[in-house]
Structure 1
Amino acid sequence: MWNAIETFLDSMFVGPMWPASVLMGLLICYLLLSILGAVDLDMDSPDADLGLDLDAPDAGIDLPESPDADFDVDFESNIDVGHGASDIFGGVGMLTLRWLNLGRVPIIMWAGTFTLLYWTVTWILWSQSDNFRYQPTLWISLLLTIRNIVIAVGLTKIMTGPMAKVFAPEPQFDAAHLMGRDCTVCTFRADSSFGQGRYKTDASPLLLNIRTDGAILSKGEQARIIGFDPVKRIYIVTKVDPEVLP
């Protein structure tokens, strides 16, 4: 029996199996501590707001676009001209996390799914192929580990897709839904020929191309959506009297 256990451990802690087995061991310890009540198994629904000011396709809304759409240089996005390359890389990083469903499902579920898939991929490839082709040297093991992680991340993205729909369903907004709602002017002004408004949601704010019904609004003022031009994909807004705001 001890020989069988020793053989099993030797096969679990060799070459690229080392990091996968260690990660699996940590996951098992965490789950055991959760069962015993020593740690909190956080299964709460994640906060959908990752700090991304995304356009509507990502938020499930038909964001108005038009050939003559006007944009202020300081538009609400992670790619801010004034902040340079760091904001660009930050925006790309947040988009990557969202694409992987991180932040849309509980982190323990994502990590658990990744760990199981990573260990499974590593074990299958090592026992069926890599073990016969490579020596478990440091560099070979490192390269195989990177390859296995990439494969596991892709599989985790696929497996957590249905979970994201349960834990963080995308808000469904359309022109009819936005009628009568208020947005905030986010360009330096908005009038009958120019303007953008920010509509706040539980997730990322939505940027709308807006035109007023004749009034001139300044940045930060509230505007009520009263119409939609489906051809130019522009929302028509009117000024909201601060005294009648809810």
Structure 2
Amino acid sequence: MGETAAQVYDPSIWQISYLELTIRLVLALILGGLIGVERELGGHSAGFRTHILVCLGSAAIVLLSMYGFAEFAADPNVRLDPARLAAQVISGIGFLGAGTILRTGITVSGLTTAASLWVVAAIGLTVGAGFYYGSAVLTLLVVVSLFFLNKFEKKFSRTKRKQDLMMKINKDSASLNKVVTELHHFGIQISKIIVENEEAAHGDSGEMLIVRMQVKLNYKKRFEEVIVSLASIEGVIGIEAGGESL
């Protein structure tokens, strides 16, 4: 039994040359940077350097898990598990991704950036483990998804765009009803609406309504025309508009 175990055990599998280690780390830097370029060009919170650092860190951690404890590999009381630290990366990267997700009113942004950080961590793990082909294919697919499918998605959903509206309206007026009526007149569907009370500025005795809406645009007219029309309604104090970002 002991002889069989000795024949199975190969200490060389726990060793890695300096050249191979350098190649894996440099490759992680390149692949992570390729994905970070798209986020950087889009002006997102996690850009070029962030993706590089995540990918490099993931690669370094899996290298440590696989080869960092080689001197203990021959100890009969030690059982090495190369996947242990890698598993912690997959769950631990969530805190960084969560930091890129922002909620402003009814708008949630940063989801795609959070997902790109998570997949970059996976790329770092595959590179660190020496799974070169898998990491290359994964990077190619991610770059295609971010660069090309993003444009396709925008083109495909152009007729069903979503916009966020934030309006300040006099509470004592019937402006809110007029706003809803005007939106329906333009054929715009209201998917979400939040109404809040807020005291007027400069110590006025009256109050304002803060109205946040998410609307779907299923028409060919320019959205600017709708904003101008809403701004002309009596009792509407201010309007802010913005689209969804990924």
Same fold (TM over 0.5): no
Larger fraction in strand = 2
TM-score by length of 1: 0.31
Higher helix share: 2
